[in-house]
Amino acid sequence: MKKLLLTSLMGVVMFISSAGLLQAAADLEANTPAIAAIKTSMQTRHAQMQTFYASGAIGLTQDGFIAVKDASAVPLSQRGGLAGLVKDENSDRARLYKEIAAANGHPEWQGEIQSTFAGRWIDKAQAGWFYQRDGAWLKK
Amino acid sequence: MKYWVIGLALAGALALPACVTINIYFPAAAAEKAADKIIDEVWQLKQEQQGTTSSPAESTATTPAP
């Protein structure tokens, strides 16, 4: 009887410590070299894109990407560059979501990571930037 | 007394797999935290906390000094 009590007590201790371990592992891995490279690339590009966000030429989509919202807000000479920036940014974003999922050993999380980012990009967007909701463009 | 022990063992047996299940499901809170950190870095928000983000601009500005 006493032995049984001791074993169950040990079980409880093990359960608590394993819960602690899970708590420690609750952070997502987002510091691999691949992710760092994507972040640097996006950071550099953002310096060029900031004015496009502010003028409403581009906006944040509901699915965690960006899109051209109003190309006429950009001088004709820069429109080709704008399309290229949007394309590159979106391919970096897609790679970012994929890499985070892969870095955590759950490639199937890619979609959920993407939708998490989608919400956070919009939440953190500056006032005056545009974002998409249910197909319509809204101004923050 | 005996019931108490059995109850405890049963609770433990039920709780442990539940814990494992949680770990398999998508960790939404952790993902939000990771997303926030990455977005802050990419958009260079909270710059006062990251002295490193302003260093490239500084280094190019100070090159003609010597």
The tens digit of pLDDT for each residue in A35-69 reads 999 999 999 999 999 999 999 999 999 999 999 99
Asked whether residue B47 is domain-assigned, the answer is yes
How close A23 comes to chain B (CA, Å)?
A: 10
Q: How many domains does chain B have?
A: 1
| Predicted local confidence at residue B15, as pLDDT | 72
Mark yes or no for CB contact A100/B22 under 8 Å: no
Asked whether residue B29 is domain-assigned, the answer is yes
How close B11 comes to chain A (CA, Å)?
A: 9
Each domain of chain A, given as residue ranges in start order, spans 29-139
Mark yes or no for CB contact B15/A100 under 8 Å: no
Domain coverage including residue B50? 2-61
Hey, what's the torsion of the CAs at A83, A84, A90, A91, to 10 degrees? 150
> Is the model's pLDDT at A85 over the cut of 90?
yes
**Residue A109: pLDDT band with limits 50, 70, 90:** very high
Higher pLDDT, A32 or B49: A32
Indicate the residue of B12, B32, B41 with minimum beta-carbon distance to A120.
B32
How much is the average pLDDT of A65-94? 95
- What's the CA gap between B50 and B44, in Å, rounded? 9
Mark yes or no for CB contact B34/A28 under 8 Å: yes
> Is the model's pLDDT at A132 over the cut of 90?
yes
Mark yes or no for CB contact A30/B34 under 8 Å: yes
**Mean pLDDT, chain A, integer:** 88
Asked whether residue B54 is domain-assigned, the answer is yes
Asked whether residue B66 is domain-assigned, the answer is no
Asked whether residue B16 is domain-assigned, the answer is yes
- What's the CA gap between B30 and B27, in Å, rounded? 5
| Predicted local confidence at residue A32, as pLDDT | 96
Model ipTM over 0.90? no
How much is the average pLDDT of B38-53? 74
Asked whether residue B22 is domain-assigned, the answer is yes
Beta strand A130-133 with A136-139: parallel, antiparallel or unpaired? antiparallel
